[in-house]
Every structure is written in C-alpha cells, then in structure tokens.
Structure 1
Amino acid sequence: MTDTRAPWSPEAFEERLRGKSTSYHIHHPFHVMMGRGELTPPQLRGWVANRFYYQISIPIKDAAILSNCDDIAIRREWIQRILDHDGCHIGGVDDAGGIEAWIRLGQAVGLSRDDVTSLRYVVPAARFAVDAYVNFARQRPWQEAVASSLTELFAPHIHQQRIDTWPTHYPWVDAAGLQYFKQRLTQARRDVEHGLHFTLQHFSQSRALQERALNILQFKLDVLWALADAILLSQCTIEITGPKA
C-alpha cells in the first residue's frame, strides 16, 4: 500500500526528534542519583570503568559509518569524530583525544590506567548493549547510522550538569578529570549541527522515512538506557585502597 501521508515540515520533524529527549539517559535512575550526588565512590568508579567500553567503541562505530559511506562530503566531515576520540598528531595539532581523556577521568576517581583499559570491570550486559550499537552501524545503511548519532542533541546538558555538580557532590574527584566533559560540550554541538542537518534533509523525503529516523533515534536512546541498566542492576562497584577509597 502506498503511503500517501505528507511529510512533516522540517520544523515539525526537528521538534519530534528533539522531543525524544524524554527518553535520554539523564532521566535514568542511575544518572538521577549521579546528578544528585548520591553515588558512592565505588559506584562512580564502576560507572567510569563500564562506560569506557562505550568510549572506545565510538570511533569503531564511526569507522563503520565511513566504510559504508559513498558520499565524500560526509566522509570529510565525519572523520573528525574519530580524531576527536582517538586523538591525532597532524599538522602541528597534538590532541590526545577523548579516549585518553576518559582514562584520565578514571584516574581522577581513583582507578589505575590498567583498571580502565583492561576492561575487567565491564559487565556482560554493558558489552551487549554497546556491541548492538556498533553492529547497527556496521550493518545498516550509513544514512541510518548517521541518524542514530542524534542522541548528541541531548548530550551537552548532561555534560554541563557533571561539570557544574561534581565539584560539589564529589569533591574527592580530581577536577582535572572533568576535561572530557568540557571538550565534549563543543564537539557535541558541532556534531549535532552536521548530523541534524543531514537527517532533516535525507529523511524528509517521506513521512515513512521521518518515522524511521525517529525509531532509529529511539533505538540509540534505548542502547544508552540499557547501558545504564546494566551498570545499575549489576551493582558494579569498585573498591580501592588509598585516599580516594
């Protein structure tokens, strides 16, 4: 049956995409506890250690998008995301990257570099959720994988919340470890501008495509929610000895 419904206007479509913010993991009980300063040091360490698996998977996901993409303009823009996380030493630019910044966050909460990079604290359900997202980017059309990135619409708020509240709620955390959140404020807004523009343009060809984009965004939101579920329900906590314990 032919779908005769008219597409939403770009403004109405964008409003629906942004309306998905109600499913963002900032509303998950674990992140609500984090925002209120209610996590114990072992709980916060457990989150940092598990979330690292997501961090190291982001450039792998983005590389999968690039490998499927036949649009040179998109590839030129998208490759910056890999450099943001992996770091680069190009043309006088020396950037350690977001993955290294997350390792420093781990050290700021009392973990060793090996505690973080060994992945020994990553719980199975967290791996499953993150791997589902990477496999989506590998297997689905690159246009859909681009749309899945739009959870970044909501990311600056949660990064700013951590920058604003952690020094008060978690004063034992070395403030230098918050650099990851600070640099993502700018990077995420830049990425959103590009990803949103493409999604509004490509998926506005029909109502069915617009609804598909909304479902894709919901899938990614579900991945992040499931990751938070995995950390909360596993009760992953990391006890250490020393001044931060």
Structure 2
Amino acid sequence: MSSRVNPVDDTQLPWNEVELESRLRAVSDARYHDRHPFNVRMHKGDLSPDELRRWIVNRFHYQRHIPVKDAHILAKFDTPALRRTWLRRIQDHDGVRDGEGGIERWLRLGEAAGIDRERLTSGAEVLPGVRLAVDGYVNFCRLRPLLEAVAASLTELSAPGLMRTRIEAFEQHYPWIEADGLTYFRTRIEQGGRDGGEALALVKAWARTREQQERAVAALAFKCDVLWSLLDAVERGEPDASGGAP
C-alpha cells in the first residue's frame, strides 16, 4: 500500500487577506487610468484648452452616473448599517440639498473652464465611446453580485494620489481655470481614501474562497478598463456629422 499523500492544489486555496489586498492593489498600480496617455499629457500641461474642456464635458457623463451605480449597489445590501454607509456615497455626489455635492462641484469646474451648465447637462457632446463605457459600468453594478460590484469601486484606493497630482498640474499648467473650480478634486482626496478603505474591508471580509477572490480582482480590473476606455474615447475624439473634429 502506498503511503504517498496527494499534494495540495494550492491554486485553489484562498489567499490570506494580506495577499488579497496586495493583488488588488497591484491591479490598480498597473492599470489605473493615471497611466493613460491622456492623463499623462494632462498632468504634464500638454493639453490644449479645447482638449481639457472635451475631457470635462465627457467626464461629467461619468460623474453624473456615479450615484446611479451606487444606488444599484445600495439596493443589494441586506442590513440598515451597510445601506447607511453606502447612502453617504450617493449624498456625497448628489448633495443633501440643492447646490451641494460632487456633481455640483463638477459643474463649477466646468464653469471655471468656461463651460456653461447647460452645455454640460445637455449631454449633447458626450462621445459614443464614453456612453458605452459608462453604461457598461452601471450595468455591471446592476447585474453582478454584490461582492463584484463593491470590488469594482476599489479604484477609489488610487484616487487620493491622482487628485493631488491633478491639483498640482492644474495650478501649474492651467492657470486660466479659476481656482475655485478645483474644489471637486480637493474634496475627493479625503472622500476617496475613506470610501476605498471601507470597500476594501468589505471585499476582504466577503471574499473567502479563491473563486470569490479572483472574481473581486477581475471586477477591479474591469473598472480600470472602464476608466481607460473612457479616456481612449476622449483622447481620440470622434468626427461630427460633417466629418470634422468635435
């Protein structure tokens, strides 16, 4: 009789929490949109006013859908405590009352860059590629399990560093944008760090099997692809009906 013990297949063993966090952060380090050529050019001061305004207009389409995707996630929670925590994210963007919140602050960024509110809110200039990326993210949060929807939000872990870089770049290279317009970026430094930490704690608590952990990592990679695709569309621009540049 053989006494040989079958080896353990460690490809199926769950990672410990340290390894899981390391793998999640590695995704952001490698694939977060701060590395996208458009963002690199933005932070080096190489964007023209028209390019920067095109980004502000199209990124607003993403910003206004953040509370929508968060509402889909909120509906999946089964305890009041978790719903209260996630509700704060919606309030951060929508505000508790008119004239408050991240969407309002983005509108003020647009005004500081010479874009009136009607132009931003009409959505008329939103590029098809941007619409597709944003729709993909909203539907992911609506249709995928709670763990994956929350894991996709972990790009927040990288947001504070990006916001600091962006503030410095705007102050140095784009002084024609009024300083008050940068309030959105300043606010997101604290909010992003807090939100990312809360979401990371949930993912680490919920992802107990290797399959769940791999799905969480894949969800974060998907979100990075959404942000990258959005910038691909903005970088490229698309011809208008007459064949000219937007």
Q: TM-score, normalised by structure 2?
A: 0.90
Structure having greater relative contact order (Cα 8 Å, sep ≥ 6):
1
2:23 counterpart letter in structure 1: R
Q: CA deviation at 1:6?
A: 1.7
What residue in structure 2 maps to residue 172 of structure 1? 176
Pairs within 5 Å for 1:1-245: 5-20=12-27, 21-89=29-97, 96-203=100-207, 205-234=208-237
Aligned partners of 1:97, 1:147: CA distance in 2, in Å?
Answer: 24
Any runs of at least 4 consecutive aligned residues in structure 1 with deviations exceeding 3 A, and if so which?
none
C-alpha contact 1:30 1:232 (8 A) present in aligned 2: yes
For the residue of structure 2 that corresponds to 1:8, the secondary structure is coil
Q: CA deviation at 1:67?
A: 1.6
Total equivalences in the alignment: 231
C-alpha contact 1:46 1:236 (8 A) present in aligned 2: no
Aligned partners of 1:236, 1:71: CA distance in 2, in Å?
Answer: 48
- The superposition leaves residues 95-143 of structure 1 with CA deviations (integer Å, 9 ceiling, x where unpaired) of 7000000000001111111111111111011001001000111111222
1:152 counterpart letter in structure 2: E
For the residue of structure 2 that corresponds to 1:88, the secondary structure is coil
Aligned partners of 1:218, 1:176: CA distance in 2, in Å?
Answer: 33
1:159 counterpart letter in structure 2: M
RMSD, aligned α-carbons: 1.7
Q: CA deviation at 1:73?
A: 2.1
For the residue of structure 2 that corresponds to 1:172, the secondary structure is coil
CA distance 1:54–1:113, shift in 2 (3 Å): same
2:219 counterpart letter in structure 1: I
CA distance 1:139–1:3, shift in 2 (3 Å): farther
CA distance 1:144–1:137, shift in 2 (3 Å): same
Q: CA deviation at 1:38?
A: 0.2
Aligned partners of 2:181, 2:239: CA distance in 1, in Å?
Answer: 21
Mark the structure with the bigger radius of gyration.
Answer: 2
C-alpha contact 1:126 1:230 (8 A) present in aligned 2: yes
CA distance 1:35–1:4, shift in 2 (3 Å): closer
Structure 1: any 5+ residue segments left out of the alignment? Answer: 238-245
Aligned partners of 2:10, 2:219: CA distance in 1, in Å?
Answer: 19
2:19 counterpart letter in structure 1: A
Identity of paired residues, percent?
A: 49
Aligned partners of 2:100, 2:89: CA distance in 1, in Å?
Answer: 13
Aligned partners of 1:63, 1:137: CA distance in 2, in Å?
Answer: 9
2:229 counterpart letter in structure 1: A
What residue in structure 2 maps to residue 241 of structure 1? none
Q: TM-score, normalised by structure 1?
A: 0.90
CA distance 1:218–1:236, shift in 2 (3 Å): farther
For the residue of structure 2 that corresponds to 1:32, the secondary structure is helix
- The superposition leaves residues 194-242 of structure 1 with CA deviations (integer Å, 9 ceiling, x where unpaired) of 1000001111x111111111101000000000000011111689xxxxx
What residue in structure 2 maps to residue 240 of structure 1? none
